[in-house]
Structure 1
């Protein structure tokens, strides 16, 4: 959650999206690549994604299995990580960090204003906070994501579960990041909105590559993404399996052009 960073005027590197120009801003419609007639998905994607990891050491297979799901193995005493509950009062000394990075905490935070206040307190004067979050709503620019599809149901499932959990999944839609950061006392606030394609439908080569990763992200462990909220809603295992199968099939269907909105907000603590 927090780390020391080089002392500089900005947390952005020269290769940051702001320096290169946005890959796909929220205002831009994603241009769709041509689809070969009769082809609904890319049969080679799975093979490519698997072979691309062939050089990874076999140590990645050292894991534990608990209740049918795999978890990473223990590192022993090779490294030490300080684990904190960021929703509680932070125990880090005040003004001890140059940079606080908050990423993908959607559904985990009961009080976003308090979170940014804690980050402000922990940062040194001149330090930076960066908050990256994603929308739970899956959209398309060409209405290829149909209202009755599993893709369209994804966001409402999480939003409904949030009423029981008590933590919002609509951080981007409810505009919680920038106002909370400004309220905490940060200055030089910047915001970057973009789109993450969830399969390689875009015509732009870079966006197509990003879409491949988006597809892997959303289909490799869909169970891990949806099981908790499905259980909160009282779904049966059979209902979960049917929904996940439909969701994966729709993601891989190249006639669908789904994406989610991303928002990054960063700001500086006054000197």
Structure 2
């Protein structure tokens, strides 16, 4: 989508549940600490553009978010969602059934089910749910994002995406795992630390040709 106005003319609100925002930000950006699943404190027809990303696994009631987004968007406004389908997929059998990455995903999904969070199918339901909420002209683009550089023969872009995906998961493995595994599944913190270490080693394995759909 093209932006016709200079970016400096846009006023941007960033919303997050936790106070983790940087202090050095552009002057047209401000952050608010709030729960997007609560009532949105904005009037009708307020926003030109709403962007939602990486909330799969965190939201219990997506339909409520869609309804509030539809209410607060101006006529002709846009909503954009970016998120992952259930990881990991593999087409050549290199990700074995007993690999720790599959154990990681299976346990995370188990925890989200217990917590009442729609994780495994949320991204697949984006399009029909948006249409149900009243959005028109909904389009969907699905991409394969490799884990690591194994898809480098498909071009530099795939190698770059794979590198970023791997590093993101290595860095974020503890944050993605800790709360769900300790608070919901009842694991001990030391048990999680050992498990996360094995997950990080598996993420670095160049022989595993896994990917996620985005």
TM-score range, shorter chain: 0.7 to 0.9
Q: Is the Cα contact below 8 Å between 1:198 and 1:218 reproduced in 2?
A: no
Q: Which runs of 5+ in 2 are unaligned?
A: 6-18
Q: 1:74 to 1:117 in 2, by over 3 A?
A: closer
Is 1:142 equivalent to 2:87 in the alignment?
Answer: no
Cα distance in 2 for residues equivalent to 1:149 and 1:82: 40
Match of 1:90 among 37, 40, 52: 40
Q: Please report how far the alpha carbon of residue 198 of structure 1 lies from its aligned counterpart in structure 2 after TM superposition.
A: 1.6
Q: Please report how far the alpha carbon of residue 169 of structure 1 lies from its aligned counterpart in structure 2 after TM superposition.
A: 1.4
Is 1:260 equivalent to 2:209 in the alignment?
Answer: no
Q: Deviations over 1:45-97 (max 9, x none)?
A: xxxxxxxxxxxxxxxxxxxxxxxxxx858739x97423332111111111011
Give 1:209's aligned residue.
Answer: 160
Give 1:48's aligned residue.
Answer: none
Cα distance in 2 for residues equivalent to 1:121 and 1:72: 28
RMSD across aligned C-alpha pairs, in angstroms? 2.3
Q: 1:80 to 1:101 in 2, by over 3 A?
A: closer
Q: Is the Cα contact below 8 Å between 1:100 and 1:129 reproduced in 2?
A: yes
Give 2:49's aligned residue.
Answer: 99
Cα distance in 1 for residues equivalent to 2:35 and 2:188: 31
Q: Report matched runs for 1:209-228 at 5 Å.
A: 209-228=160-179
Q: 1:172 to 1:90 in 2, by over 3 A?
A: closer
Counterpart of 1:207 in 2: which secondary structure? helix
Give 1:15's aligned residue.
Answer: none
Q: 1:164 to 1:148 in 2, by over 3 A?
A: same
Is the deviation greater in 234-243 or in 123-132? Answer: 234-243
TM-score (normalizing by structure 2) = 0.82
Q: Which runs of 4+ in 1 moved over 2 A?
A: 5-8, 71-76, 78-84
Match of 1:248 among 194, 197, 200: 200
Cα distance in 2 for residues equivalent to 1:7 and 1:189: 21
Counterpart of 2:127 in 1: which secondary structure? helix
Give 2:121's aligned residue.
Answer: 171
Q: 1:72 to 1:125 in 2, by over 3 A?
A: closer
Is the deviation greater in 93-102 or in 242-251? Answer: 242-251
Q: Larger radius of gyration, structure 1 or 2?
A: 1
Q: Please report how far the alpha carbon of residue 249 of structure 1 lies from its aligned counterpart in structure 2 after TM superposition.
A: 1.4
Q: Is the Cα contact below 8 Å between 2:21 and 2:31 reproduced in 1?
A: no
Cα distance in 2 for residues equivalent to 1:114 and 1:193: 24
Task: Identify which of structures 1 and 2 has the higher relative contact order when contacts are C-alpha pairs closer than 8 Å and 6+ apart.
Answer: 1
What is the aligned length?
194
Match of 2:136 among 187, 202, 213: 187
Q: Please report how far the alpha carbon of residue 237 of structure 1 lies from its aligned counterpart in structure 2 after TM superposition.
A: 2.5
TM-score (normalizing by structure 1) = 0.66
* Structure with the largest fraction of helix: 2
